[in-house]
Amino acid sequence: MSDYGLTVYNDNNGLMFDSSRKMNSYVVTEIGTGLGPSITIGSDDFVFVKVPYGQASSFATTVVFMGAPLTIPPTAPAFYGQDFTLTNNNGISNTTWTSPTPVILDYFVVRHSSQISSTDDYGLVVYNEDQTVQFDSRSITLGQHFKINSFYETRTVDAWSPQNGGEELGSSGDYVELSKWTNGVVGGLITSSTVIGLWIGPRHAINYFSTAIDLGNSGDDDDSPLGPPGGNGLPTSGGNFATSTESYNNSINAMIVTGVLI
């Protein structure tokens, strides 16, 4: 490490940037409570979420993910949740899921400081040796910063399953990043179910896949050739569906981070 340069710490003694290192500086661009960010999320942005204050009981069995219906033009990604119920028949577990519905979460979005445009012609810009931007003071528009509390590399998270309790992500009170690793099916014909999401109450990662069997209890069942007349086909939206085969993967094929606002 060089014995010269510029190092900046915040009030909590957290390192914001160090010009002697090749670092990436991210800043908070939006903080809110809602169905999803109001700004367009870029491929390099991160979206952190947690349960709104006092609503833990409402999310006791809810797995959340970021997704969007298949529409033309495309719909912006938003927060969706699916509740699940476990049953056991002669030692064989089976999972029943509700269809995804929009959910309201506390969230904040962070973006690399070099990706935030500004018309200001003053401020402090710090470059790495290769001329990439490490920090640009003009990108700071909100009074709060964030701190990464936990970082899990790809395939290192012990994901939850009925046979494996899994691990809690981060610490109590942490936001968990959602946009880089979660996904689910929003709308459309349900012939299979993939849920890679955050069981947000206990902060467990879940990686689930199954083929689906119609329970015949949804009011908007499909009367297509896939099912007999009278609405006993595969549910297209709403209601519940059970599974014929299911599997829980014990890891997540992406990194996961948790953090807090400071």
Question: Is residue 158 in some structural domain?
Answer: yes
Stronger pLDDT, 193 or 195, i.e. the higher one: 195
**Model confidence over 224-257: pLDDT tens digits?**
333 333 333 333 444 555 555 789 999 999 999 9
Question: Is residue 100 in some structural domain?
Answer: yes
pLDDT score for 126: 73
What average pLDDT does the segment 140-151 reach?
77
Looking at the structure of the chain, the number of domains it has is 1
Average pLDDT along the chain:
78
Residue 37 has pLDDT above 50, yes or no: yes
With a pLDDT cut of 70, the percent of the chain lying above it is: 68
Question: Is residue 2 in some structural domain?
Answer: no
Stronger pLDDT, 216 or 107, i.e. the higher one: 107
**CB neighbours (10 Å) of residue 56?**
12
As a whole number of angstroms, the distance between CA 240 and CA 238 comes to: 7
**Model confidence over 47-74: pLDDT tens digits?**
999 999 999 999 999 999 999 887 777 7
Instruction: Find the domain containing 80 and state its range.
Output: 7-261
Question: Is residue 57 in some structural domain?
Answer: yes
- To the question of pTM greater than 0.85 for the whole model, the response is no
Question: Is residue 1 in some structural domain?
Answer: no
Residue 15 banded pLDDT, cuts 50, 70, 90: low
